[in-house]
Structure 1
Amino acid sequence: MKKLVVALITLLGVTGLLLAFHGRSKNEVSLSGMTSDAIILTDFETGEVLAEKKSDKKIQIASLTKLMTALCVIESTANFNDTVILSEENLNRLAMEGMAVSGFSANDAVTVNDLLYGMMLPSGADAAEALAYYVSGSQDDFVMLMNNKAKELGLTKTHFSNVVGYDNKGNYSTAQDLMTLLTFALQSPLFKEIFMTQQKISQPTIFCPEGVLLESTLIKSGEHLGFDGGNILGGKTGYTNKAGLCLASMAEIQGRWYLLVNCHADGSPTTEPAHLIEAKEIYQRLAAKEGV
């Protein structure tokens, strides 16, 4: 009976999200001058779409993939204090590939909770892969879990082929689907807490008894998160050559929360953070509309 109630609540919640996002867009905020190729801006409370640009176009999403990875881990975990051993082989491979890592040492034992932060803040591919193995025993089985969740949420233009965000042919989504995913995931208190955290020191580990500093890529960019009329409260960045600069974020304006997904902005991690700069500009234009 409990499972039936949970399933009905999930179904009603997802149906509400889909109705909100597929409703009419007022295009209240101008998106002129943005290099981001796919954009959607919504009111977090109502789900109303305030602006969009090619939001239903299939795109590469880089590390925004980890939004689904995090959600599936959270929904599948009973004890977040369980520890996972980080594979030295995996860390060496990821280093050779130039992938972002969390900062934990090889062969260290790290809690699931800290690995979630390590995946979402510094965008650690090592943490994402370790969590996938913890939950499902293999990355392939965990990817099946991700795709089942995408189907459950009605993400009809989304498919995952890995847990990290590699530019694989089978790993894609749309700005609209990502917004549906993000809005649903933020119903989880733990996901919301992680998403809105800028810095965290992990619990002590065997090889790092003082803990590991986990810092969001949002603040590593050096760009302030404030804008005229409000502040960005949190977010998840992503980048690959094919995906460009991507960002899913939340901001507060006059006590209300808004969500924005903007993908395929010009630049790279070595240039100015166009995805964050453009997000701030979009939020600032919204604040001006709200009369701040």
Structure 2
Amino acid sequence: MKFHHLVIAVLSCAALQFGFAEPVGAASGATSTKVSKATKATKTKKASTRQTVRKRAAKAAPRKVSAQRSLAAAAPVAAAVEVDRLGLPLLRSSAFLIQNQNTGEVLLEKKSDAVLPIASITKLMTAMVVLDGGQSLSEEVVITDEDLDTLKGTGSRLALGTRLTREQLLHLALMSSENRAASALGRSYPGGIAAFVNAMNIKARMIGLADTHFSDSTGLNPMNVSSPRDLARMVSAASTYPLIRQFSTSSEEHVQIGSRVQRFGNTNSLVRSPEWEIGLSKTGYIQEAGRCLVMQAWVNKQPVIIVLMDSDGRYTRTADAVRVKKWMEAAATQRVAVGPGGSS
């Protein structure tokens, strides 16, 4: 009998330790009652804790939503592209300006007055001066050793002796950023390259570019400088030339070079994207300038000028342009959802 009671006591202790609610054995009534009460107390405490957590979460949720609505573009924008605490997109270019071309409203800017090298963005001015000069576009121009890049040592598929029309050179300079093509365009201008560069700087003043100066027709010279604000004006001016719009946004061109037909592609991959409607485009790169991109594009049925300067990574300028577009589209969607009266 003593042994039987000892077994019951051991099992009862185990029940207390592991939270069994049912009695262990016929003679364990008092112990079972204590175990049951302890278990119920534990369950009640857990349930109470869960209710408290739910109540706190319910109270906190409205405050979080309210804080999000106070941002410039709110949740849909954050979901579309990474934004800062004000709801503005985080861009990787060191200087930029995004502007509505119709209204002149600046949508985004950073260091928009900083004067920086512009690399091959220069070729937009080269094209305007060529077209303003009224020279025959069908006239053939020969690539000579004067068109070789002795400054940066860049190569070209336009070999010495290549004969192309001025129109073909203009196309390759704008679409593929061909340096020898841009050099030949400036060199064949009445008065030579010196007169051409002078005409570039006069044109810059005529269209109100106070921060801009040119030293060559290619952009290889880092003394070719401008600011994001000036480049926005230059893009707007260049967009009035139908041939510049056409050549700078064409995706590719096949050109007879000697005995071979060679394919030249656009340096801006976005012109081939069905998600973009681009009216004008130009890329640029030298070490001093970083990677640059200027565009006139249609976003939310509005013409927008995008100027991105001094990007480090190879694809950063393109990625920044995509971020801008997504941010604008998401912000427009948010305005429609919220309505003119404020938060929804």
- Give the TM-score band, short-chain normalised: 0.7 to 0.9
The whole-number CA distance in structure 1 between the counterparts of 2:332 and 2:207 is 31
1:82 Cα deviation from its structure 2 partner: 0.9
Aligned to 1:217: 267
Aligned to 2:309: 263
Aligned to 1:72: 129
- The list of structure 1 runs, each at least 4 consecutive aligned residues, that deviate by more than 3 angstroms after superposition, is 27-32, 95-98, 222-227, 230-234
Q: TM-score, normalised by structure 1?
A: 0.77
Consecutive unaligned residues of structure 1, counting only runs of 5 or more, are: 1-26
Structure of greater relative contact order (alpha carbons < 8 Å, 6+ residues apart) = 1
1:180 Cα deviation from its structure 2 partner: 0.3
Question: Do residues 197 (structure 1) and 250 (structure 2) align?
Answer: yes
Q: Is residue 155–residue 177 contact of structure 1 (8 Å, CA) maintained in 2? A: yes
1:63 Cα deviation from its structure 2 partner: 0.9
Q: Is residue 128–residue 164 contact of structure 1 (8 Å, CA) maintained in 2? A: yes
Q: Within 5 A, what are the aligned runs for 1:115-134?
A: 115-134=169-188
The whole-number CA distance in structure 2 between the counterparts of 1:138 and 1:290 is 49
* Aligned AA (1:249): M
Aligned to 2:338: none
Q: Secondary structure at the match of 1:163?
A: coil
Aligned to 1:83: 140
Q: Secondary structure at the match of 2:294?
A: strand
Relative to 1, partners in 2 of residues 1:233 and 1:148: Cα closer, same or farther, differing over 3 Å? Answer: closer
Question: Do residues 252 (structure 1) and 298 (structure 2) align?
Answer: yes
The whole-number CA distance in structure 2 between the counterparts of 1:64 and 1:99 is 17
Relative to 1, partners in 2 of residues 1:81 and 1:209: Cα closer, same or farther, differing over 3 Å? Answer: farther
The whole-number CA distance in structure 2 between the counterparts of 1:38 and 1:188 is 26
1:233 Cα deviation from its structure 2 partner: 5.3
Question: Do residues 273 (structure 1) and 283 (structure 2) align?
Answer: no
* Aligned AA (2:96): I
1:273 Cα deviation from its structure 2 partner: 1.1
1:177 to 227, 230, 249: 230
Aligned to 1:240: 286
The whole-number CA distance in structure 2 between the counterparts of 1:60 and 1:33 is 23
Higher helix share: 2
- Backbone CA RMSD of aligned residues: 2.6
* Aligned AA (1:110): L
Q: TM-score, normalised by structure 2?
A: 0.66
Aligned to 1:14: none
1:181 Cα deviation from its structure 2 partner: 0.8
Q: Secondary structure at the match of 1:130?
A: helix
* Aligned AA (1:145): A
1:31 Cα deviation from its structure 2 partner: 5.0
Deviations 1:245-283 (A, max 9, x none): 10001322233322201000112xxxx411111111111
The whole-number CA distance in structure 2 between the counterparts of 1:289 and 1:54 is 23
* Aligned AA (1:36): S
Relative to 1, partners in 2 of residues 1:188 and 1:100: Cα closer, same or farther, differing over 3 Å? Answer: farther
Determine what percentage of the aligned residue pairs are the same residue. Answer: 28
How many matched pairs? Answer: 251
Aligned to 1:56: 113
Q: Is residue 74–residue 191 contact of structure 1 (8 Å, CA) maintained in 2? A: no
Q: Is residue 62–residue 166 contact of structure 1 (8 Å, CA) maintained in 2? A: yes
Q: Is residue 117–residue 214 contact of structure 1 (8 Å, CA) maintained in 2? A: no
